[in-house]
Structure 1
């Protein structure tokens, strides 16, 4: 659609939330939120007065002489975001898809407040300190890569890991969900997939309606529930006797998985729960994208992303870039200390089984692991090709 300085447009129903530095524009129908500076918000308000794009541009340019105001470009962005209802009296059909695939749980906000209130938050903090104390007093309970192996049979290990990981992730997402409900906001606990893996996800967009100081609990709700589960797993290991060694082994796998999950939160090159906590504390949104774009000037292997930095945010972006690089270092450490030794041990456990008779269970257990390792390696290679091959072609 060709826009001119005489064009007028009507926007869809939106809600504007004033934040510490900029504004958050909410499109209630889809639940999407967009960060915008004050000049953009004033442009939206002037569009609501049925003013022409050219007139709005002149008004804003005189009011904000240091800003580069291009209303036609801004109007085209609003069209791309699906926020425009009419242009010069012509209806614009929205191309946006509203994701309603998640399942809404009919849980009262009173239930959420039962798990997230001043007393429970203090309890989560105490349990977190208790977990650290247990690791200090009993270093033998600190997660080890061999905790994955509850049995000499890889099929058993894989089934235990799959079932346990699904339950732990569901418990984590339930923490987020209940924390959002405790604030009286609607949420959605969705069941989706990543390739052939089932995943659980909580829709937390509604937290943008809250003041910044009240967003921390929903962001940390999952880690709070992780802490409870980790503490419980460690206590079971402490109290289980010789007759319950199998239970202790399974709880060791649970503790190992939760520990890795919590460390995963420190991988700041991804949008983890702690990333949103830091982003919220600094009041600078799109922090990862902006830091990645800045780092791409010095790290050629990073694909340059588009970034929008407002005012004095550049210093914050440069500072977060250090956390971004530190997250990469933590991921390499996880690989070196846990994942690589884990794979080597599994390989050493399974390879001799291929020498067993063809009709034996041990032989097929070894075949199962080799097939599993080949499948995961193939998927990893496929994802790398999809990610980096376009960069090589464009280069």
Structure 2
């Protein structure tokens, strides 16, 4: 039996609890409770939601326990429940004594208020998006030569110009993509935060929209899919401009490259084993609270079972998915397979293709760099080294910073 967490100093059955401002929403047979400032949101049973209301009314822990037993006809351990709320950072004071907690992280663009961006959740936007997609499809049907090809990326014979356009346009699209998440979430009063992160070998920008769980499903799905819709919209606009530009001009070739660069991140979004935009849609549609975390725990459980069988070791392992509702359990077990297979394939691609190719390009650029080389060759090599070397360095720094934060917050 696992040991209970230590009793916080001053927490007694007679204690009166002052909670931070909490948001709450019914979700099927459970309730989603959270604190926007702490970016913490959890699912609690109905008794937990009632206990929060009773504590808000000023009842002591013992009084809330007795009221629940009388009104709900069930035993609910409010004292243990309050301990969990303290760990989550939901408790402000115990008997008028402040409870220390992790300071809230600053949101991005704090001056942007929900009323400034309310348009982002307007139902007319999906209609306009559909019209734009239809126009792009018609353009492809009428002008099939405009369909995207990898050759569109090689719009210039100078590799440095190709890389520079890809770098500038790619990261500009990343910013616009994340701003779409930010704006649609902020329209629902969520304090979103844009930051760099890593997904396996990929350096990514990510927008923390914790709190969107409290919004209606239409708003949640809009926030999850806003980035993909933005990429598709940029590509569609580029296609429409391609229909009115001369194919022999540099502008036409750059527009074709921008179209491809806008579409390139979309296959990445299908990699749901890395918590991409489509992952959050899948998690919402399957009514799972933590598909990635529960899937990882179940995959680890299966891995430990296989290792014990191969080594002949005998021990009892608890299936972490058994405490989940049946519909979540099925989804988590299927997702754990996708998680393991996808991760293995991604890391294999890194080891066999991506990393050797990048190292070869950097080595070739270094070899061509020197006083005896033409200025154009030196400039080309410098651009390659800065872009590829800088990207890998930024990935390593971001990965280390995230890892250090997790260790600091877990101690």
Could you state the TM-score of these two structures normalised by the residue count of structure 1?
0.73
Inter-partner Cα distance in structure 1 for 2:283 and 2:358: 35
For residue 262 of structure 2, the aligned residue among 250, 258, 263 is 258
**Cα deviation per residue 1:211-246 (whole Å; 9 max; x = unaligned)?**
2244222322222222111112233445533431x2
Check 1:200–1:294 CA distance in 2 against 1; reply closer, same or farther (3 A cut).
closer
Q: 1:377 to 1:186 in 2, by over 3 A?
A: closer
User: What are structure 2's unaligned runs of at least 5 residues?
Assistant: 1-7, 307-319
Task: Please name the residue that 1:319 is paired with.
Answer: 334
CA distance in 1, matches of 2:111, 2:99: 30
Q: Is residue 16 of structure 2 the alignment partner of residue 16 of structure 1?
A: no
**What is the correspondence of 1:193-232 to structure 2 with a 5 Å cutoff?**
204-205=209-210, 207-232=212-237
User: Secondary structure in 2 aligned to 1:320?
Assistant: helix
CA-CA distance at 1:206 after TM superposition: 5.2
Give deviations 1:184-231, integer Å, cap 9, x for gaps: 534567665569xx9876564453342224422232222222211111
CA distance in 1, matches of 2:121, 2:180: 9
1:104 partnered with 2:118: no
Deviation at 1:78, TM superposition (A): 1.5
Report the Cα offset of residue 164 of structure 1: 1.0
Q: Are 1:82 and 2:89 matched, yes or no? A: yes
- Aligned partners of 2:111, 2:353: CA distance in 1, in Å? 37
Q: Tell me the number of residue pairs that the alignment of Structure 1 and Structure 2 aligns.
A: 377
Structure 1 residues 336, 242: closer, same or farther in 2, change over 3 A? farther
Shift of 1:296: 1.6
- In structure 2, distance between residues paired with 1:287 and 1:174: 25
Partner of 2:45: 37
Unaligned runs of 5+ in 1: none
Provide, for residues 118-147 of structure 1, a one-character-per-residue CA deviation record: whole Å limited to 9, x for no partner: 454134235446656777884873342x54
5 Å-filtered alignment, 1:240-279, equals 240-244=245-249, 246-279=250-283
How far off is 1:362 after superposition? 0.6
Q: Over aligned residues, Cα RMSD in angstroms?
A: 4.6
Which range is displaced more, 151-160 or 321-330? 321-330
Change (3 A) 1:367 1:237: same
Provide the rounded CA distance (Å) in 2 between the counterparts of 1:336 and 1:263.
20
Partner of 1:26: 34
- In terms of mean alpha carbon deviation, does 73-82 or 204-213 score higher? 204-213
Residues 314 and 48 from structure 1, CA distance in 2 versus in 1: closer, same or farther, beyond 3 angstroms? same
